[in-house]
């Protein structure tokens, strides 16, 4: 296939179209806006629906209605706007509806700033809204992966009838790289027997409301546990680099994983046995990647664009807290490979590395 040069956000949008997404509703916010802009003309070409809504709340709740009607529906936002989506994400989860939502992360709480950041990890992986739920969260680290993950996100969402979130960031969304786009697919809105349209004679009534209203509060816990266990078993995704003999393993996703790869190369050139686990699924966290490591690993170093070290807890859990877990975070600057190697070397010398 031919490669084209594309911006991360636009490759994401195009891959959603090619995955059969024919419904987009959203609101502008930097650094996500290119998705919205791209959809504004591309949906027109493919006969889909594009709605620039009055707010993020309207965007996600319009997706709720569209998903219930059977469409492959998408909304995208960033930081402050993504917070507003939480109501609808909780409703999608509680109602068993598939949809894809992208958070092109920026830095800081409140308004923060439009620069790249990874400070939404807790919100993304812990549920984010009210109630007992998590969503599948996929974190691209390149323009190609923006397209690849967008393409499978709808399939995953429909497989479990559950929202899937793409955790991108300003750097991944804004960078321009060559990308091989997937082939065009169409989605049949009547593909599933649960979609909402007028009830035909003899059919059971379909009520797209809280699942536990339907099955009863007694049956719901087992149903939900089973769904989450299946997602945890089947949807772990990751990339491991030079871990076979690594004594220290970096753990980084998205933009931080790109510089971490550089750091591994740099460290190896200096004889430092450094490796990398790059979670592609932030939830389910790739436990299997950690289980596969050898006994030579003496510690882990989380590299993130956050101040508090949001992924550290997950790494501590994934390694069973058997070895030290260090943290190197940056706020508005992308972590430096040189500093990563320095911190990694310090950890290998028995020093504690935090923040």
Partner 1 sequence: MKLSLPDSLLRDKSSGWCPGCGHGIITRMVAEAVEELGLEENFILCTDVACGALAAYVTKWNVIGAAHGRTIIAAAGAKRVRPDQIVLAAPGDGSAYSIGIESTIHCALRNENILALVVNNCVFGMTGGQMSPESLPGQKTTSSPFGRDPARNGAPFDVVKTLGSYDIAYLARGSVSSPANVIRTGKMIRKALQKQLDGQGFCLLEILSPCPTNWGFPDDRAGKALDYMRQQQEVFYPLGEFIDKEGSKDA
Spatial separation of the C-alpha atoms in residues 319 and 299, rounded to whole Å: 9
Spatial separation of the C-alpha atoms in residues 310 and 314, rounded to whole Å: 8
Tokens of 149: 């993950």
| Residues 40-99 contacting partner 1, CB under 8 A | 49, 51, 53-55, 57-58, 61-71, 73, 87-88, 91, 95
Among 47, 183, 201, 350, binds partner 1 (CB under 8 A): 201
Among 9, 11, 25, 56, binds partner 1 (CB under 8 A): 25
- The reply to whether 345 sits near partner 1 by the rule CB under 8 A is no
* Residues that contact partner 1, how many (by CB under 8 A): 39
| Residues 285-344 contacting partner 1, CB under 8 A | none
Among 209, 219, 230, 351, binds partner 1 (CB under 8 A): 209
Of 227, 231, 341, 241, residue with least CA distance to 289: 241
Spatial separation of the C-alpha atoms in residues 193 and 181, rounded to whole Å: 30
Answer yes or no: are the C-beta atoms of 263 and 228 closer than 8 Å.
no
| Residues 166-195 contacting partner 1, CB under 8 A | 189
Rg (CA), the chain: 21
Nearer to partner 1, 208 or 339 (CB): 208
Spatial separation of the C-alpha atoms in residues 274 and 247, rounded to whole Å: 6
Main-chain dihedrals φ then ψ at residue 64, nearest 5 degrees:
-55, -50
Spatial separation of the C-alpha atoms in residues 187 and 288, rounded to whole Å: 32
Nearer to partner 1, 3 or 197 (CB): 197
- The reply to whether 198 sits near partner 1 by the rule CB under 8 A is yes
* Range in contact with partner 1 (rule: CB under 8 A) among 168-176, 202-210, 262-270, 338-346: 202-210
CB of 32 to partner 1, least distance (A): 20
Which residues does residue 113 pair with via DSSP β-bridges, in sequence order?
107
Nearer to partner 1, 189 or 345 (CB): 189
- The reply to whether 207 sits near partner 1 by the rule CB under 8 A is yes
Count CA atoms closer than 13 A to 146's CA, side-chain side. 31
CB of 200 to partner 1, least distance (A): 6
Nearer to partner 1, 53 or 310 (CB): 53
CB of 20 to partner 1, least distance (A): 13
Where b means 16+ CB within 10 Å and e means fewer, 315-343 reads bbebbeeebbbbbbbbeeeebebeebbeb
CB of 49 to partner 1, least distance (A): 5
Site residues (CB under 8 A) for partner 1? 22-23, 25, 49, 51, 53-55, 57-58, 61-71, 73, 87-88, 91, 95, 189, 196-201, 205-210
């Amino acid at each position: 296939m031919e490669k084209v040069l594309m911006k991360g956000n636009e490759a994401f949008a195009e891959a959603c179209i090619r995955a059969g997404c024919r419904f987009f509703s959203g609101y502008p916010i930097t650094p996500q806006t290119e998705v919205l802009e791209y959809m504004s003309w591309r949906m027109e070409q493919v006969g889909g629906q594009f709605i620039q809504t009055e707010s993020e709340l309207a965007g996600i709740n319009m997706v709720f209605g569209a998903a219930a009607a059977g469409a492959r529906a998408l909304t995208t936002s960033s930081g402050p706007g993504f917070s507003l989506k939480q109501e609808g994400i909780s409703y999608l989860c509680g109602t068993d509806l598939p949809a894809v939502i992208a958070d092109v992360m920026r830095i800081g709480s409140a308004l923060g700033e439009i620069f790249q950041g990874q400070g939404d990890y807790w919100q993304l992986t812990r549920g984010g809204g009210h109630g007992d739920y998590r969503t599948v969260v996929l974190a691209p680290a390149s323009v190609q992966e923006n397209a690849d993950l967008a393409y499978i996100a709808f399939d995953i969402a429909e497989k479990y009838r559950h929202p899937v979130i793409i955790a991108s960031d300003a750097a991944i969304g804004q960078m321009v790289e060559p990308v091989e786009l997937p082939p065009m697919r169409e989605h049949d809105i009547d593909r599933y027997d649960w979609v909402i349209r007028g009830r035909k004679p003899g059919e059971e009534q379909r009520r797209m409301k809280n699942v536990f209203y339907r099955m009863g509060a007694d049956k719901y816990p087992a149903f939900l546990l089973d769904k989450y266990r299946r997602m945890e078993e089947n949807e772990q995704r990751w990339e491991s680099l030079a871990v076979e003999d690594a004594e220290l393993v970096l753990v980084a996703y998205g933009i931080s994983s790109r510089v971490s790869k550089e750091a591994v190369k740099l460290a190896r050139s200096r004889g430092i046995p450094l490796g990398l686990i790059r979670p592609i699924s932030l939830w389910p966290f790739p436990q299997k990647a950690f289980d596969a490591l050898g006994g030579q690993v003496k510690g882990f170093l989380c590299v993130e664009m956050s101040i508090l070290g949001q992924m550290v807890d997950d790494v501590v859990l994934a390694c069973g807290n058997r070895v030290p877990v260090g943290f190197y975070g940056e706020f508005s600057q992308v972590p430096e490979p040189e500093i990563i190697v320095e911190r990694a070397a310090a950890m290998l010398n028995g020093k504690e590395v935090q923040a």
